[in-house]
């Protein structure tokens, strides 16, 4: 893909992050919830931190190839493209100019209860982004709040309640593994 920022295009360490929430008593199936979220990402995004503006594709449905600009306060807008869509998941890849170089997947499933996960593999898109993330921690805090807030909003949208809080796992991936 021509303008996609793969992890190897970025700088600094590669991070694997997973945010997971278990939702009890949901009124929706994973597939219904995936459709609700994917057709209107701002429905569950904390708009004080980020809004998702579709710039390519039909506003009524999410399809592979659609593009969004994630608008954040300041000069941090992040272009992304839909790389994969299924009945219970969708994956976005970062485009040139995004703070990160990588991908993020949103998955909805049912175990004993409804489960919503956000999983990413990414490194900083450039040296300034690496500085903000690793040293000033500003981008790291915004990202943490963005995804945990989204998990909480998805639980509310489902008609259920999150139990056990948000499970967060962030690890640095060693090169060569």
d(CA 176, CA 59): 40
Share of the chain above pLDDT 70, in %: 87
Per-residue model confidence as pLDDT tens digits over 152-168: 999 999 999 999 999 99
How far CA 126 is from CA of 63, 78, 79, in Å, comes to: 28, 13, 14
Residue whose token pair is 């929706």 = 28
Beta strand 51-56 with 67-71 is antiparallel
Per-residue model confidence as pLDDT tens digits over 59-102: 999 999 999 999 887 667 889 999 999 999 999 999 988 888 89
**45 contacts: CB under 8 Å, gap ≥ 6:** 51, 52, 146, 149, 150, 153
What structural domains and CATH numbers belong to the chain? 7-170 (3.30.530.20)
């Amino acid at each position: 893909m021509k303008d996609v920022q793969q992890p190897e295009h970025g700088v600094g360490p590669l991070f694997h992050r997973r945010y997971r929430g278990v939702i009890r008593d949901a009124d929706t199936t994973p597939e219904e919830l995936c459709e609700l979220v994917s057709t209107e990402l701002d429905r569950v995004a904390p708009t004080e931190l980020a809004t998702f503006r579709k710039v390519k594709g039909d506003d009524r449905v999410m399809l592979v190839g659609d593009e969004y600009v994630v608008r954040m306060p300041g000069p941090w807008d992040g272009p992304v493209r839909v790389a994969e869509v299924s009945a219970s998941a969708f994956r976005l890849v970062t485009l040139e100019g995004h703070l990160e170089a990588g991908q993020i997947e949103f998955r909805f499933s049912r175990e004993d209860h409804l489960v919503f996960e956000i999983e990413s593999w990414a490194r900083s898109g450039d040296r300034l982004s690496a500085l903000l993330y690793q040293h000033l921690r500003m981008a790291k805090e915004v990202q943490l709040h963005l995804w945990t807030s989204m998990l909480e909003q998805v639980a509310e949208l489902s008609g259920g309640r999150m139990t056990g809080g948000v499970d967060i796992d962030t690890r640095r991936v060693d090169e060569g593994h």
